């Protein structure tokens, strides 16, 4: 993928997240709030998501792929909503299951293959990196772009 294709995919994902946020908040009754003490386990997420309010980490956004941390928060909101509604934990297999279900949602919403590819690389490859190393990716944007540039 070229940088232009990647950037267009990111913009499309950003718009999708805005629309998904509206659906989750207005149609389903969920909401989110920022915290510097985000859940580190699925049990903790379930305990902290009181009254359908999901705590979202206000850190780790310095190098996200999105044009603003706000879109990264929306991505995390949708992702953690999926964890909760699918009742899937934070193991690598559960992460993969959640991400694949999110891809189904992107596909159903008519999101382009380019944007779905950006989503997959951002979510799956970072989860795989964490599973393989026990560490978070330091520069998310560089990590994701380097992988995506290898895609046709």
pLDDT tens readout for residues 24-67: 999 999 999 999 999 999 999 999 998 999 999 999 899 999 99
β-strand pairing of 53-57 with 31-35: parallel
- Tell me the CB-side half-sphere exposure of residue 129, using CA atoms within 13 A: 15
Q: Is the pLDDT of residue 145 over 90?
A: yes
Contact 67, 46 (CB under 8 A): no
Query: Which pLDDT score is estimated for 50?
Result: 87
Q: What's CA 108's distance to the chain center, in Å?
A: 17
Q: Is the pLDDT of residue 152 over 90?
A: no
Enter the pTM of the model. Answer: 0.95
Backbone angles phi, psi at 77, to 5 degrees: -60, -50
pLDDT tens readout for residues 60-111: 899 999 999 999 999 999 999 999 999 999 999 999 999 999 999 999 999 9
- On the 0-12 / 13-18 / 19+ scale of CB atoms within 10 A, 90 is middle
């Amino acid at each position: 993928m070229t940088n232009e294709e990647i950037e267009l995919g990111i913009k499309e994902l950003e718009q999708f997240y805005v629309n998904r946020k509206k659906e989750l908040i207005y149609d389903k009754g969920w909401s989110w709030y920022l915290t510097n003490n985000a859940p580190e386990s699925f049990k903790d997420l379930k305990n902290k998501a009181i009254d359908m309010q999901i705590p979202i980490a206000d850190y780790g956004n310095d190098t996200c792929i999105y044009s603003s941390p706000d879109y990264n928060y929306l991505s995390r909101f949708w992702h953690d909503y999926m964890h909760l509604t699918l009742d899937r934990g934070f193991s690598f297999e559960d992460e993969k299951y959640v991400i694949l279900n999110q891809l189904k949602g992107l596909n159903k919403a008519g999101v382009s293959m380019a944007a779905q590819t950006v989503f997959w690389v951002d979510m799956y490859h970072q989860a795989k990196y964490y599973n393989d190393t026990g560490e978070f990716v330091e520069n998310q944007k560089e990590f994701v772009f380097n992988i995506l540039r290898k895609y046709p």
